[in-house]
Amino acid sequence: MSITPPNIILHAADVHKNFGGLRALSDIDLQVEEGKTHAIIGPNGAGKSTLLNVIIGRIPPSSGAVIFDGTVLTGKAPYEINQLGISRVFQTPEIFPDLPVLHNVMAPAFARRDGAFRVNMLRSVGSEHEIREEAEAILDDIGLHGRREHHAGSLSRGDKRRLELAMCLIQRPRLLLLDEPTAGMSRHDTNTTIELLRKIKSSGMTKVIIEHDMHVVFSLADRISVLAQGRIIASGLPQEIKEDPRVQEAYLGGGVE
Ligand X SMILES: Nc1ncnc2c1ncn2[C@@H]1O[C@H](COP(=O)(O)OP(=O)(O)O)[C@@H](O)[C@H]1O
Using CB under 6 A as the criterion, which residues of the chain lie in contact with ligand X when the complex forms?
19, 22, 24, 42, 44-50
Judged by beta carbon, residue 54 or residue 196, the one nearer ligand X is 54
Judged by beta carbon, residue 21 or residue 245, the one nearer ligand X is 21
Judged by beta carbon, residue 49 or residue 206, the one nearer ligand X is 49
Number of CB atoms found within 10 A of residue 18's CB: 14
Is the sign of the CA dihedral 88, 89, 91, 94 positive or negative? Answer: positive
Among ligand X, Mg ion, none, what binds residue 7 when CB lies within 5 to 8 Å by partner kind? none
Contacts of 30 (CB under 8 A, 6+ apart): 10, 11, 12, 15, 38, 40, 51, 225, 232, 235
Least separation in angstroms between CB 48 and Mg ion: 5
Least separation in angstroms between CB 127 and ligand X: 41
**CA–CA dist 175, 159 (Å, integer):** 22
Among Mg ion, ligand X, none, what binds residue 47 when CB lies within 5 to 8 Å by partner kind? ligand X
Among ligand X, Mg ion, none, what binds residue 82 when CB lies within 5 to 8 Å by partner kind? none
Judged by beta carbon, residue 44 or residue 63, the one nearer Mg ion is 44
**Amino acid at site 79:** Y
**CA–CA dist 140, 126 (Å, integer):** 21
- Residues in 22-51 at the binding interface with Mg ion, rule: CB under 5 A: 48-49
**47 in Cβ contact with 58 (< 8 Å):** no
Judged by beta carbon, residue 46 or residue 101, the one nearer ligand X is 46
**CA–CA dist 17, 50 (Å, integer):** 8
Positions that interact with Mg ion (CB under 5 A): 48-49
